[in-house]
Amino acid sequence: MKLFLIRHGNATNKAFSIGKPLSDMGIAEVQVLAKNIKKTDFLVEQIFHSGKLRAEQTAEIIQNYLKVR
């Protein structure tokens, strides 16, 4: 088993949004990361996140690019 820890993408300013979602730049960062992970052809069985909005968004973007069993 291999475990990869990924930090969420860049988030918006906390004062701007209470939930602190990913910024446009953060979304783009995660998409680039997910595309690069996809090229490696890793088999991903599960994705976990902390429950924070930005972490959940990061996990969803990565899941959309990879084959998650």
* Any domain includes 35: yes
The boundaries of the domain holding residue 47 are 24-65
* Any domain includes 15: no
Please give the Cα distance from 54 to 23 (Å, whole number). Answer: 9
* Any domain includes 43: yes
* Any domain includes 32: yes
Q: What is the pLDDT of residue 28?
A: 97
Q: What is the pLDDT of residue 69?
A: 64
Rg of the chain in Å (alpha carbons) = 12
Task: Indicate if the pLDDT at residue 56 is higher than 90.
Answer: yes
| Higher local confidence (pLDDT), 35 or 17 | 35
* Any domain includes 50: yes
* Any domain includes 37: yes
Q: Report the phi/psi class of residue 51: left, alpha or beta, with left for phi > 0 and alpha for psi in -120 to 50.
A: left
Please give the Cα distance from 4 to 25 (Å, whole number). Answer: 22
* Any domain includes 6: no
Task: Indicate if the pLDDT at residue 18 is higher than 70.
Answer: no
DSSP 66: S
Q: What is the pLDDT of residue 47?
A: 93
Please give the Cα distance from 5 to 43 (Å, whole number). Answer: 15
Structural domain count, the chain:
1
